[in-house]
Amino acid sequence: MNVSSGEQAKTQVRKADHIRICLEEDVQFDRTTNGFDRYRFTHCCLPELNLNEIDLSTTFLNKTLGSPLLISSMTGGTEQAQTINYRLAEVAQNYQIAMGVGSQRVVVEKPEVAKTFAVRSVAPDILLFANLGAVQLNYNYGLGECLQIVELLEADALILHLNPLQECIQPQGDTNFRGLLDKIALLCDRMPVPVIVKEVGNGISAPMAQKLIAAGVAAIDVAGAGGTSWAKVESERAENPQQKRLGETFAEWGIPTTECITSIRSVSPSIPLIASGGLRNGLEAAKAIALGADLAGLAWPFLQAANESEEALHELMRSLLAEIATVLFCTGNATLFDFKHSHCLQRVR
């Protein structure tokens, strides 16, 4: 694919901007919560279990994982992103959890940055997801480019992310989403690996999930509202007053994560489901699993820790695992299977 050097540079600058803004600016949802505060677990005062024997292992897309955690798709394409991705991959390998990388569009435009994504050398057998914006299928991308990024990463699946609000606000955003569902269906039929569709923080509704399932997607990541607001992120990058105002106006736009999980599960009990969107700890991850998700995805906490140090990442992982295990122990469940079928989570408001 022929891409001008100017476009390549813009993509890399955007990648660097996104990391900086997410780490340094207040771009979290303010009034909109992810919804987990509306739920609480029924405490079991006599669990009849040994905490040390709690089993957090699970399977997703036919791969066994050490726990139901996903390092959500974040970055790539710059030197800082390479450091972050390699640290994340090393932790994913150590704890046998799933990981996604940021959008690999920059690799198609500039193949020399491939090393910033290529983490198989440090994570040889994790569940690893490639990533591309679905809208690029309307901008001269197709099966060839998708195969290219999957092969580069040696990925187990391909994530197509949907980000219409972000593209509306982003300078020079790609806003032609017409006919994408049919193109996603064609891609699902032709790709040799499963295709996952995710939002980027504004949520996926049940009716849209049904359309995506009918199109052949293998899994859905709801990526609901309540965490990082990409409208706010792009408002920080605005090149004119209109873009800045758009970002501020739509800063709270989206479907809370819990609503996405429960509504999708009500229409599809079996689709592999990832819950992301504002999850900050193992208690919220456990609530997501209890509501019907198969994996719980976190981005911002992992980004912060990875930017700090390898030890900070390991400390975060130990804390997340301890928090999830404590939930299982204090609800009287020895395994994730038991936990998911225990009906121990109630809505309180």
pLDDT greater than 90 at residue 12: no
Residue 73 contacts residue 300 (beta carbons within 8 Å): no
Beta bridge partners of 158: 130, 195
pLDDT the model gives residue 3? 59
pLDDT per position as a tens digit, 19-28: 898 989 999 9
pLDDT greater than 70 at residue 117: yes
pLDDT greater than 80 at residue 312: yes
pLDDT the model gives residue 7? 59
In sequence order, the 6+-apart residues with CB closer than 8 A to the CB of 249 are none
Q: What is the CATH number of the domain that holds 154?
A: 3.20.20.70
Let me know if residue 277 belongs to a domain: yes
Residue 102 contacts residue 108 (beta carbons within 8 Å): no
At 32, list the tokens. 């909109």
Please compute the mean of the pLDDT values over residues 282-291 and round it to a whole number: 98
Let me know if residue 11 belongs to a domain: no
pLDDT the model gives residue 10? 64
Q: Residue 102 — φ and ψ, nearest 5°?
A: -70, 175
pLDDT greater than 70 at residue 31: yes
Beta bridge partners of 276: 297
Residue 142 sits in which domain range? 21-347
Let me know if residue 15 belongs to a domain: no
Please compute the mean of the pLDDT values over residues 58-85 and round it to a whole number: 96
Residue 56 contacts residue 67 (beta carbons within 8 Å): yes
Least confident range of 4-18, 171-185, 233-247: 4-18
In sequence order, the 6+-apart residues with CB closer than 8 A to the CB of 75 are 15, 18, 19, 81, 84, 85, 101, 102, 303
Residues in the chain: 349
Global confidence as pTM: 0.95
Question: What sections of the chain are H helices per DSSP?
Answer: 5-24, 79-95, 105-109, 143-153, 164-169, 180-190, 206-215, 230-236, 241-249, 257-267, 282-291, 300-308, 310-330, 336-340
- The dihedral through the CA atoms of 302, 306, 307, 309 has a sign that is positive
pLDDT greater than 90 at residue 252: yes
Please compute the mean of the pLDDT values over residues 72-79 and round it to a whole number: 93
In this prediction, residue 92 has a pLDDT band, given cuts at 50, 70 and 90, of very high
In this prediction, residue 2 has a pLDDT band, given cuts at 50, 70 and 90, of low
pLDDT the model gives residue 14? 75
At 73, list the tokens. 């798709």
Let me know if residue 8 belongs to a domain: no
Let me know if residue 7 belongs to a domain: no
| Torsion, Cα of 114, 116, 117, 122 (10° steps) | 120
Number of independent structural domains in the chain: 1
Let me know if residue 196 belongs to a domain: yes
Please compute the mean of the pLDDT values over residues 197-223 and round it to a whole number: 98
Let me know if residue 31 belongs to a domain: yes
Rounded CA-CA distance 3/152 in Å is: 19
pLDDT per position as a tens digit, 222-248: 999 999 999 999 999 999 999 999 999
Let me know if residue 243 belongs to a domain: yes
Terminus-to-terminus CA distance in the chain, angstroms? 52
| Torsion, Cα of 292, 293, 294, 299 (10° steps) | -160
pLDDT greater than 80 at residue 151: yes
Rounded CA-CA distance 305/313 in Å is: 5
pLDDT the model gives residue 278? 96
pLDDT greater than 60 at residue 348: yes
In this prediction, residue 16 has a pLDDT band, given cuts at 50, 70 and 90, of confident
